Structure 1
Amino acid sequence: MEPESGLPRCHRHPDVETGIRCTRCEKPICPQCMVSASVGFQCPDCVRNGSGTGHAPDANQPRTLAGGRVATDGRFVTKILIAINLALFIAVQVAGDRLVDELSLIGYAYNPQLGEVVGVADGEWYRLLTSAFLHQEIAHFVFNMLGLWIIGGIVEPELGRARYAAMCLLSGLSGSALAYLLSAANQPSLGASGIVFGLIGAWAVLTRRRRYDMRPVVLFVGLSLLLTFTRPGISWEAHVGGLIGGALVTYGLVHAPRVRRNLVQYAACGLVVLIDVGMILARSVALT
């Protein structure tokens, strides 16, 4: 049997010897318990009780399934997204078709009023995102806002504000990217359907992750896709692109291991961005 070193033992792990003490209460702490502070290290008890200044990973802060902060308002970002859509909808009603022509998703087309070529392939990259918040008809606007409000109220509290916002933006971008890739170059499209379908994809992933009954979600997804492919004038590419983009991002967010959570989540979002950029560049090269 090896002789003991004479060092004190951690007050939380009595079988571990240590030479480190908490800078606040001076109790012995082992490497597993040490919390980095502005000066030295502190024990989890001092940090948890608020008596320390350590940089613990928010010991008292509850976290969402994806690791985000739990907020009191579970629809904060959803309200902002609806407000943006509403502002653009009102602007379209005031400015008319001119604003729609400037912000809708057009791949590559000649505008006789301007006497010039317009579209994403002509360098108007902003259309990929502005079109995802743009509506012209009241029924289209109301339907998408209802979907955003209802499903967003389910998804946002599970992801947290920042992750939810990233997922919505990437869903909108994915929907626009696939529409840009597969639609006719001069076919304009607009609407938040890509974001709404991204929320549907996120909802499906979260339901599976929580091990809830998948049947209602599968039925809802099936009906949504049925309407997408049977109703005329619908950009199915934007719906499918948003659905896949939202599902991929959410899967990376909620399945990331805690040890490297941020790294894996950034990587998942980055992968979706790379796929979208790849589709956009391929289509631009083909059109120009």
Structure 2
Amino acid sequence: MDAPPVCPRHPDRIAYVRCQRCGRPTCPDCQRPAAVGVQCVDCVRDAARSTRDVRTRFGGLVHPGARPVVTLAFIALCVVAYLGQWTVDGFTTDWKYSPLRGHAEPWRFLTSAFLHSPGSIFHIVLNMVALWTVGPYLEVQLGRVRYATLYLLSAIGGSVVVLLVAALGWSDWYSGVVGASGAVFGLFGAAFVVMWRSGHPAQGMLGVIGVNMVFSFVVPGISWQGHLGGLVTGALLAAAYAFAPAARRRLVAVVAPALVAAGLAALVGWSYGQAPAEVQQIWDLPDAVEDSLLREWGL
């Protein structure tokens, strides 16, 4: 009389059910549902290893089950910074951006994008909801590196336009700005370009951009300059990614951000060259005196 079949992974267990792929007996703990019947855990693992990730037309990898780690990282940084604003004295003042402060402390062009208004939790909530709504889609379509580069350059682009508008005399050099809105608007612009290039209906995203830009101009206290700068930067960079030939995709992923960054740097240089005499006098003060004076003014 033949011995009853046993599970290869658990020899002490009798198993009459066989894997549909390899035909070996498999116990209930080692069975995995398949399209037809069940498969053993070993065959499921081997199939997962042999499955090739699919690339999008923009260079991203579609990997089932992958988490949007870059988007989650940006959200985590904003939340940590928000807690710092509440618990550390002077945290917001040390990292927020204004055209006046950005001259000597250029990192503020970026760090301000991870801060939010401490007086309103809705500011960070709305930005994080928008980031979570659009971010994962772009992270898959563009790939993590392209997506992160676009987000960061959009944030900087928003600050650059705040400076440019001050240089043109349409706003002052002293008002500070905070918020991820510039970067989020960059994602809005990029999502529109990617959806349009993919042949998907993009009217909805265009409506979102339009409504939010109207609010930027009509609601007091919102930096329309930052929104506009982020939107233009994100759309331009996404267009470079979207229209890059497949054979040149890696090259464009390096050259396009470099050109955008160079353009932003040129705007910064020109804008600071237009600073009024009273602003230049502040910059001419010794660093310690300048810093003390600006802190006294809440800048």
TM bucket by the smaller chain? 0.7 to 0.9
Indicate yes or no: 2:230 matched with 1:242.
Answer: yes
Match of 2:161 among 174, 178, 190: 178
Match of 1:106 among 98, 105, 108: 98
The aligned residue for residue 79 of structure 1 is 72
Match of 1:169 among 124, 143, 152: 152
- Cα deviation, 1:230-283, whole Å, max 9, x if unaligned, reads 110111010000001111111111211012211223222122111111111112
Q: Do 1:132 and 1:190's aligned partners in 2 also have CA atoms closer than 8 Å?
A: yes
TM-fit CA distance, 1:107: 1.6
Partners of 2:146 and 2:159 in 1: how far apart? Answer: 20
Partners of 1:260 and 1:191 in 2: how far apart? Answer: 34
- Cα deviation, 1:180-220, whole Å, max 9, x if unaligned, reads 22142101001000111011001100111111122212211
- The structure where helix makes up a greater share of residues is 2
Q: Do 2:60 and 2:139's aligned partners in 1 also have CA atoms closer than 8 Å?
A: no
- Cα deviation, 1:92-147, whole Å, max 9, x if unaligned, reads 00014x11111111121xxxxxxxxxx112x2001000001111231111110011
Partners of 1:69 and 1:213 in 2: how far apart? Answer: 22
* Superposition map of 1:112-261 within 5 A: 119-121=101-103, 123-135=104-116, 136=118, 137-183=120-166, 184-261=172-249
Number of corresponding residues: 218
Q: Do 1:175 and 1:194's aligned partners in 2 also have CA atoms closer than 8 Å?
A: yes
Match of 1:62 among 54, 65, 68: 54
* Superposition map of 1:17-96 within 5 A: 60-71=52-63, 72-96=65-89
Amino acid across the alignment from 1:131: S
The aligned residue for residue 289 of structure 2 is none
Partners of 1:189 and 1:218 in 2: how far apart? Answer: 25
For structure 2, the residue ranges without an aligned partner over 5 or more in a row are 1-50, 167-171, 281-299
TM-fit CA distance, 1:65: 2.8
TM-fit CA distance, 1:285: 2.4
- Cα deviation, 1:154-188, whole Å, max 9, x if unaligned, reads 21111111111111011101111111221421010
After the TM superposition, which segments of 4 or more aligned residues of structure 1 sit over 4 Å from their partners? none
For structure 1, the residue ranges without an aligned partner over 5 or more in a row are 1-58, 109-118
The aligned residue for residue 268 of structure 2 is 280
Q: Do 1:155 and 1:164's aligned partners in 2 also have CA atoms closer than 8 Å?
A: yes
Q: RMSD of aligned C-alpha atoms? A: 1.5
TM-fit CA distance, 1:81: 0.1
Provide the TM-score with structure 1 as the length reference: 0.72
Q: Do 1:177 and 1:280's aligned partners in 2 also have CA atoms closer than 8 Å?
A: yes
Provide the TM-score with structure 2 as the length reference: 0.70
The aligned residue for residue 45 of structure 2 is none
Amino acid across the alignment from 1:134: L
TM-fit CA distance, 1:73: 2.4
Partners of 1:74 and 1:194 in 2: how far apart? Answer: 24
Partners of 1:130 and 1:151 in 2: how far apart? Answer: 21
TM-fit CA distance, 1:284: 2.1
The DSSP-based 3-state class of the residue aligned with 2:238 is helix
Q: Do 1:248 and 1:268's aligned partners in 2 also have CA atoms closer than 8 Å?
A: no
